[in-house]
Amino acid sequence: MSIVVTYLAYLLISVGLTVLAGRVLSRSGRVFLVDALGGSDSAARGITNLIVVSFYLISLGFVALTMRTSSDSVSVRQAIQLLATKVGLVLLVLGALYLAGIVTLTRLRRPLRAQQLDNAATTAAEDASARTTLWRPAARRIAP
């Protein structure tokens, strides 16, 4: 079996898995951040795109670096073993990068959620203060 066929199979499988994982990360991350940002879809989309692009660059860079092998011709058995080993490495890297993306989103969510809660508390306090001021009874005037 030609090593070129093994390379092509490796590229097709690896790029397909990378795109699939990137899309899942993008959809899940955007929903996660929309919740953290209080419904701001445009900000969530921007942050998610930054994380997903870095995911793609690191994943595809790893695929490109691990594509080379030392032998020019391999048997069918060797080709299958080589392909399985390389795809297994890609799966491990994709899993680690996906986990890193989720950890990044979680770390972003905490301060955003805290800021959202602080803003809500400040607004509630201001509303309560305004209601108290509005309902204060007028002082009685004593005629001279």
Residue 84 lies in a domain: yes
Encode pLDDT of 71-109 as tens digits: 777 788 888 888 898 899 989 998 898 888 788 877 877
Q: CA torsion 18→22→25→27, rounded to 10°?
A: -140
DSSP secondary structure string for all residues of 43-81 = HHHHHHHHHHHHHHHHHHHHHHHT---S-SB--HHHHHH
Predicted pLDDT at 138: 57
pLDDT on residue 134? 52
Q: Which domain holds residue 49?
A: 3-129
**Residues 128, 95: Cα–Cα separation, whole Å:** 49
pLDDT at 12 over 90: yes
How many domains, in total, are found in the chain? 1
Residue type, 57: L
Residue range 5-19: mean pLDDT, rounded: 90
Residue 143 lies in a domain: no
Query: Does the reported pTM lie above 0.85?
Result: no
